[in-house]
Structure 1
Amino acid sequence: MKMKNPNGYGCIRIMSGNRRRPYAFIATVDGRQKYIAAFETIYDAKVFQAQYYEEHHRDFPPLYHKKITFSELYFRWLSFHKDEDRMLSKSTLTGYEYAYSHCVALYDKYFPDLQYLELQAIINHMRFKENLSYSSCKKVKNLLSLLYQYAIKSNICSTNYAALISIGKNHPIYPHHIISRQKINRLWRHADMPGVDSVLILLYTGLRVSEMLQIEKKNINLRQRFIRITKSKTSSGIRIVPIHPKIMPFILNRLANPGDFLICDSSGSPYNYTRYRSSVWNKAMKLINGLNHTPHDTRHTVATLLDNAGANETSKRKILGHAGGDITERVYTHKGLRQLRKCIELLK
């Protein structure tokens, strides 16, 4: 049975006709229903609905806390979480949406009434019915943990059942492989082929592919020769990465091309991960007989090559955007651009 929204929560209606934004959010203003905004997806409309309620109804009735559904709590949490952490990357938000989509059996259930077995059933269905990966199950467990933390702080419930969920052991479906020196040399021999330069940029910066695809040209500092990463999956990922001399020609060439982002197609449009993987990465890997590699292999390769070259551990962590290993490193150790450049130039 679908639960009734709290008073003042508004509603979402599908508008007639062939519209780009068919989902309209309607709210009661001064006793009359009023169109507020329209959205491309029901998900975006519900995020806005939660934000609107948060802004216009600061004092929640105590009863509402006990009658809130899983779906309502999710969108209220997401609104709160986005306000609390304005550095959330697009990939992180996409991960939340993906995890939420697997919880459909819980959407209309009262959150305080949920039991451990109902949560475990979601994971079991993913593992044994849909045969999904450990990583997918972990995304759902992480989301449920965040929701319970929010619910407990909001006095909606008192027990974190997400902590009891079992997701099994990690058996990687796609184990990561280091890209060999021979294959890197082959990439250099094909450096004039479309898109190969972007793979070499990954191999000489250690960037996550999502970080590279979100680099805006304004965040390239040519005078001091570094890239400023402003969007990453972790707070440690917000950093500067020196530009290795070997990839500087690629950076200059990309800056002269159309578009606001460093990595764009010929029309100046940026790539998302899926399009980059299919139209750029896979073609480059085919040239070097490397179709078993994923973009994340470049980070493993950079980390391994720096290790083999005896790189300073703190500098390596700073370049890769990893959190420090101990309190001394995290709080007291500072590595300037000169030291980071010395580290990155160990890559040959």
Structure 2
Amino acid sequence: MRVPFVDVRSQYAEVRGTLDPWVSEILETGAYVLGKHNRALEEEVARWHGVRHGIAVNSGTDALRIMLDAAGVGQGDEVITTAFTFVASVEVILQAGARPVFVDIEAAGFMLDPSLVERAITERTKAIMPVHLFGQLADVEALVQTAQSHNLLLLEDAAQAIDSSHNGVFAGNFGAAAGLSFYVTKNLGAAGDAGMILTNDDEIAEKSRSMRVHGMGRERYYYDYVGYTSRMDELQAAVLRAKLARLREWNARRAELAAIYTEELQGTPVRTPQVLPGNNHTWHQYSVVAPKRDELQAFLKENGVDSMVYYPVPLHFHKPYRHLAAGPGSLPVTEEIAASILSLPVHPHLSDDQVRYAAGKVREFYGA
């Protein structure tokens, strides 16, 4: 049996009845840039998350970079964050002229450990930027409290957190702003790159809208800020709107499949994912901590089961970022998880039988 890690073709098959006429209309009218689908998508995602503003941009990376600029993070500032993340989380801090300060993660959810954040704060600390990972939020209550007590910005890397909430409050409401990614493989994925900034701050929203178009102000060819070329293509906005209508259903299906994995993997040496108190989980990834991870992954591949490692090498081991930590052993939980984590297929177009087959192969590997 074949168990693929992603299946974007099946997504398209579900939405093509809505999407194809929209694409034809865009191409026929020539309304390629910041058109009605951009505006509607911004309104729909902002409403879903309960925030005042959604600003569509051309990638999740740009969402983070523009968010940092609009929030005033810059030269000489420090931003506390995690080394267990995709590189964009850290490269944008350096591009803004600030310095990432790595704090280790907690073992339960693989996200920033709030108990370690306080000791990392210095007179240069400007912001705390947790990364909401794999479909659930970091410990936002503790992080908000720490940020407020030290008068720091809280900025959310919500690249994987569309539809993720804590006690019913969605990503984008805990800090000054949040950055979403709509990369192809996300729960809500474009036909390429796309992203969005969420915020309740009117000034950050105004600056972000300007910065995505070269810092242009209300009048054409008059500039208020140094900006970027970061408009979301109208075609991408149409794709995302068509898929957004299916997102709740798709996330519910992911949850059903995750429950099958959790049940089927009982009695094996792997540690199944934990949902942190108060969180929902959208199951962007179903990530287990697995002894003999590399051997397990090879065995699964031999048996037709795809898997991925997010993230195999902590960022403080990579050449451009080594100076940000004290080398091996400096972030022990991060390093332990990176050596043992494995993500199993959990996309909504899998069948129950495919997931049971994948789980069965894990059991077979361990002789469970």
Higher relative contact order (CA 8 A, sep 6+): 2
Task: Flag the structure with larger Rg.
Answer: 1
* TM-score, structure 1 as length reference: 0.24
